[in-house]
Amino acid sequence: MRAVRFHTAGGPDALAVEEHDDPIVGPGQVLIDITGAGLNRADALQRRGRYNLPAGATDIFGLEVSGTVGGLGTGSTRFAVGDPVVALLASGGYAEKVAVDEGHVLPAPEGMNLLESAGVPEVAATLVSNICMTGRFEHGETVLIHGASGGIGSFGIQLVTALGGRVAVTASTDDKLAHAGKLGADIRIDYTTEDFAEKMIAAGGADIILDTVAGSYLDRNLRALNDFGRIITVGMQGGTTAELDFSMLMKKKASITGTLLRDRSSAQKTAIMSEVQHLVWPLLASASIRPVTDRIFPLSQVAAAHHYFDSHAHIGKVLLDCRN
């Protein structure tokens, strides 16, 4: 099969499409003939040599796919050969085939193009595990999402709105903020010209902050937070260290949680995907959430896809068509 790997950390041109042995399907696993794969920030970090792979993960890129079931391991009973599915992966998605634990696989969402559904698993699992499960989101709460235009922002605005929350977002351009408004964001902040903490305080504060920045945002995140608020950090684009005002943290009775999805146990990922199916799949079927796809590149043009992804020009998901 064809698969994307790299031999030297670097820019997008370090990526190469190579011939690779087909995956071996283990007990309780599903073999997927891949239709599409989603690009994620972790892929770019891995390419630059800044993301350590979880134990047992292959060096083939890709954390989420869509496709059809091509085979079943011993004891795998939830799917049949030919079923359209999506899957959350630790690695292996930029390829023509992948083997994955069946608990990390869901039926493809109703009403969606199979290729474009490749952009759903990682985003949905990130949002549900952090906002709903870890963050204990409640109806009527305000959620601040840093980054309005990517896959997480575009999907997260719609998810929180559908679940009865108020959404605030930060972004760097008028176009991205306008996009967020069309998706339902109530509070839109240009972080290049405005102090998001002051804007959030004036708007009533945030109960949950989904933070992809960390370091340089810590103080402002804490100031923007309501009493009993929760900061959930899922990325470190603003650095890995910061000074924390514990008196403010204690006064607000707040919590800060750092999480990763990729290296969680198989059982934890199975529980997350079960909750995704329970919460998100009905919203997709009713079109309450409409995932946003920006561009689709053939697998053979993976370097071009990463150049585009690195430009931060995209609004929504960037995908690979693994059939081409």
Do 246 and 276 lie in one domain? The reply is: no
Do 307 and 239 lie in one domain? The reply is: no
pLDDT tens figures, 48-58: 998 888 888 99
The pLDDT assigned to 316 comes to: 95
Do 217 and 141 lie in one domain? The reply is: yes
Residue range 96-108: mean pLDDT, rounded: 99
Residue range 25-37: mean pLDDT, rounded: 99
How confident is the prediction for the chain on average, in pLDDT?
Answer: 96
Burial class (CB in 10 A: 0-12, 13-18, 19+), 77: exposed
Do 112 and 61 lie in one domain? The reply is: yes
pLDDT tens figures, 59-99: 999 999 999 999 999 999 999 999 999 999 999 999 999 99
Do 168 and 102 lie in one domain? The reply is: no
Domain range enclosing 98: 2-122+262-321
Do 164 and 231 lie in one domain? The reply is: yes
More confident residue, 239 or 193: 193
> Total structural domains in the chain?
2
In a domain, 254, yes or no: yes
Contact call for residues 188 and 171 (beta carbons, < 8 A): yes
Do 216 and 235 lie in one domain? The reply is: yes
Tell me which of 205, 238, 258 is where a domain ends. 258
Do 102 and 156 lie in one domain? The reply is: no
Looking up residue 158, the CATH number of its domain turns out to be 3.40.50.720
Looking up residue 86, the CATH number of its domain turns out to be 3.90.180.10
Beta strand pairing status for 84-88 and 105-107? antiparallel
